[in-house]
Amino acid sequence: MRQVKIYDTTLRDGTQAEYFTLSLADKIRIARKLAQFGVHYIEGGWPGSNPKDREFFEEIRQYGDVNGTRIAAFGSTHHKDRPPESDPVFQELLLSRAQVITIFGKSSLFQVKEILQTTPERNLELISHSLGYLKPRVQELFYDAEHFFDGFKDDRDYALKTLKAAVAGGAQVLVLCDTNGGTLTSELMEIIKAVQERLSDIPLGIHAHNDSELAVANSLAAVELGCVQVQGTINGFGERCGNANLCSIIPAMKLKLGIDCLSDASLKRLTEISRFVYELANVAPNRYQPYVGVSAFAHKGGIHAAAVKRNPKAYEHLNPELVGNVRHIPVSDLSGKSTIFLKARELGLEPAAHDQAVQFALDKMQEVTPEDLAQTRPEALQIILERIKDLEAQGYQFESAEASMEMVLRAALGQHKEYFRLLSYRVVDQKVGEEETPVPEATIRVRVGRHEVHTAAMGNGPVNALFKALLKALIRFYPRLAEMRLEDYKVRVLPGTGSTDAKVRVLIESRDAHDRWGTVGVSFDIIEASWAALVDSINYKLFKDEQQAHPK
């Protein structure tokens, strides 16, 4: 089986994305996770550009768990007015003591003249001299041909001369870069073929950007043409529209092209790696992301869900377990009865054995007709279906609120438990003076068993104050609530009048030390909608902890 090496540049090129920031500790954690995952190269950063990247290379040497993964340092050719030995930025590459060095140089005459502001001849010298200086001082040496495809289209002869200069300097792989991300796949393939005709003895790599939504397609096309190294980032993070997404490239190579790039066991951790990077970067995951997104294997319609139960190939291009994902059956207004009970089974909720209608839906996975219902006992099935349809008519949405969905299902199946009961709450958001910030305060009365608790709290906003007051009241009875956090809070105005009397839907994402879950509330009153979502979130946490402590 042919092998292609994975070169991850999340820690360098990925961090050029807007709103994507990693601390030094984050970079170390991601590097160690990627090494365990099995990527071949991890580009740690540009040590001459900032202190954090310099510190990364010092820190990463303290860890011995990088397996066979090699750490790469990134930089440019040496300064046009200084030799390599007296260029301090260039020397930082060697001071990093990285096993691999990747340097980039200009392939485009436009870039040479307008950006580098030197002559074409001097640019060729910079490429060959830089690589020639590094070659005896590093274990592996790669050359990124920046703007190569644009440069080739402008002046193919000069673009090819830059590659020959890199080969003369000792580059072991020539990485062709679609730096502006505007090259069409058909153009890219023709250019790679032209390079292969002129430089048949040197391995090629690909580095694609996603400005035309073609980074993955271009990377895979390059691999099919024989490129032996693919550069990209986890989740496609990168400047402007991003880099080639390794979370799509890796499974496509492994499962569709039959190329050996990672082990089967590593591939099953792909979804885990994707979400790990999202979490450390504090960026909300893209649920529609291919292969690893929550919705990548979601089947919303009842007919689709039933067909997938019979044979997943009906609506899935591969088994989600191969990439560490799971089949997802969201419940919505398109759902049939079979969808709802697929969800019930997914949550581990088995109906009573004597409920023939429910068993029929579970076992046959098809729509239950009126004739079927007339011959069976449909109470639980109908209660759940009617309850969900009623809630959705009110504006509820359960795709992002599966904890609320589970609470509805458990209540319909007689598994609801009342951990506390609200007696009253009051939220005051007092503002004194135009220049002062509001001071929100929530007062709450709840009953827990035979105990009535009356407490109050202040917070950063009325919902936060309400949450703090509720936790303050409950934590003496349920100490593990102390580890619960609200991670995200979203408000949507539902279609209607569009004015201040419109209904709102509140989605809350919560977490503890082990899990994340979503809940939803709907009301004309934003505090009441928030309260409903908060109650579901706390009830879910308490029920989950109880199940873990006392499994059946």
pLDDT tens column, 486-532? 888 888 888 764 566 788 989 898 988 878 888 999 999 999 999 99
Asked whether residue 247 falls in the same domain as residue 356, the answer is: no
What mean pLDDT, rounded, does the chain reach? 87
Nearest CA to 365 among 290, 440, 443, 299? Answer: 299
Q: Lowest mean pLDDT: which of 54-68, 88-102, 142-156, 516-530?
A: 54-68
- How many domains, the chain? 3
pLDDT tens column, 439-488? 999 999 999 999 999 999 999 999 999 999 999 999 999 999 999 998 88
Q: Compute the radius of gyration of the chain from its Cα atoms.
A: 29
Asked whether residue 434 falls in the same domain as residue 390, the answer is: no
Phi, psi of 90 (to 5 degrees): -65, -40
Cβ of 317: how many Cβ atoms within 10 Å? Answer: 12
Rounded CA separation 193/221 (Å): 11
Rounded CA separation 18/241 (Å): 10
Q: In a 3-state reduction of DSSP, which class is residue 87?
A: coil
Distances (CA, A) of 156 to 127, 196, 408: 17, 13, 64
Q: Does residue 358 form part of some domain?
A: yes
Q: Quick check: 357 pLDDT over 50? A: no
Task: Work out the percent of the chain whose per-residue pLDDT is above 70.
Answer: 85
Residue 546 CA from chain centroid, whole number: 30
DSSP run (H or E) holding 338: helix 337-346
Residue 255: give the domain boundaries.
Answer: 5-281
Domain with 431 in it: what CATH number?
A: 3.30.160
Which tokens belong to 420? 């506390």
Total length of the chain: 552
pLDDT tier for residue 361 given thresholds of 50, 70 and 90:
very low
Residue 387 CA from chain centroid, whole number: 33
Domain with 138 in it: what CATH number?
A: 3.20.20.70
pLDDT at position 278 is: 87
Task: Work out the percent of the chain whose per-residue pLDDT is above 90.
Answer: 63
Asked whether residue 49 falls in the same domain as residue 104, the answer is: yes
Q: Lowest mean pLDDT: which of 48-52, 366-370, 394-398?
A: 366-370
Sign of CA dihedral 169, 171, 172, 177: negative
Domain-ending residue, one of 233, 252, 281: 281
Asked whether residue 226 falls in the same domain as residue 361, the answer is: no
Nearest CA to 175 among 6, 378, 373? Answer: 6
Q: In a 3-state reduction of DSSP, which class is residue 388?
A: helix
Asked whether residue 473 falls in the same domain as residue 377, the answer is: no
Asked whether residue 24 falls in the same domain as residue 169, the answer is: yes
Q: Quick check: 141 pLDDT over 60? A: yes
Asked whether residue 213 falls in the same domain as residue 340, the answer is: no
Give the distance between the most distant pair of CA atoms in the chain.
89
DSSP lists the bridge partners of residue 142 as 102, 173
Which tokens belong to 532? 């409903």
Asked whether residue 432 falls in the same domain as residue 332, the answer is: no
Cβ of 455: how many Cβ atoms within 10 Å? Answer: 16
Rounded CA separation 78/67 (Å): 32
298 neighbors 315 (Cβ within 8 angstroms): no
Distances (CA, A) of 266 to 223, 323, 460: 20, 9, 42
Nearest CA to 157 among 107, 218, 88, 93? Answer: 107
pLDDT tens column, 84-107? 999 999 999 999 999 999 999 999
Rounded CA separation 323/351 (Å): 31
Asked whether residue 314 falls in the same domain as residue 209, the answer is: no
pLDDT tier for residue 350 given thresholds of 50, 70 and 90:
low
331 neighbors 388 (Cβ within 8 angstroms): yes
Higher pLDDT, 9 or 260: 9
Q: Quick check: 201 pLDDT over 50? A: yes
Q: Does residue 111 form part of some domain?
A: yes
Average pLDDT over residues 275-285: 83
What's the distance, Cα to Cα, between the start and end of the chain in Å?
Answer: 47
Asked whether residue 472 falls in the same domain as residue 344, the answer is: no
Query: Judging by beta carbons within 10 Å of its beta carbon (0-12, 13-18, 19+), is residue 201 exposed, middle or buried?
Result: exposed
Rounded CA separation 410/430 (Å): 39
Sign of CA dihedral 239, 240, 241, 244: negative
Domain-ending residue, one of 215, 249, 281: 281
Asked whether residue 152 falls in the same domain as residue 255, the answer is: yes
Domain-ending residue, one of 349, 378, 394: 394
Q: Does residue 545 form part of some domain?
A: no
Rounded CA separation 401/279 (Å): 19
Rounded CA separation 535/552 (Å): 25
Q: Does residue 286 form part of some domain?
A: no
> CB-based contacts of 209: which residues, under 8 Å, 6+ apart?
178, 179, 180, 181, 215, 238, 239, 240, 241, 242, 243, 244
Which tokens belong to 75? 């930089």
pLDDT tier for residue 217 given thresholds of 50, 70 and 90:
very high
**Long-range contacts, 285-292 (Cβ 8 Å, 24+):** 285/235, 286/235, 287/400, 289/235, 289/245, 289/247, 289/248, 290/247, 290/248, 291/247, 291/248, 291/251, 291/323, 291/325, 292/235, 292/247, 292/323, 292/324, 292/325
pLDDT at position 362 is: 40
For strand 516-523 and strand 504-511, is the pairing parallel, antiparallel, or unpaired? antiparallel
Q: Does residue 79 form part of some domain?
A: yes
pLDDT at position 356 is: 44
Q: Lowest mean pLDDT: which of 196-200, 235-239, 275-279, 349-353?
A: 349-353
> CB-based contacts of 22: which residues, under 8 Å, 6+ apart?
11, 15, 30, 280, 281
Highest average pLDDT, of 24-38, 151-165, 423-437, comes from 151-165
Which tokens belong to 334? 């398109």
Asked whether residue 224 falls in the same domain as residue 336, the answer is: no
97 neighbors 61 (Cβ within 8 angstroms): yes
Task: List, in sequence order, every beta strand (DSSP E) within 401-450.
Answer: 421-430, 439-448
Higher pLDDT, 11 or 330: 11
**DSSP-assigned states of every residue in 360-377:** HHHHH-SPPPHHHHHTS-
Rounded CA separation 428/230 (Å): 57
Rounded CA separation 254/259 (Å): 5
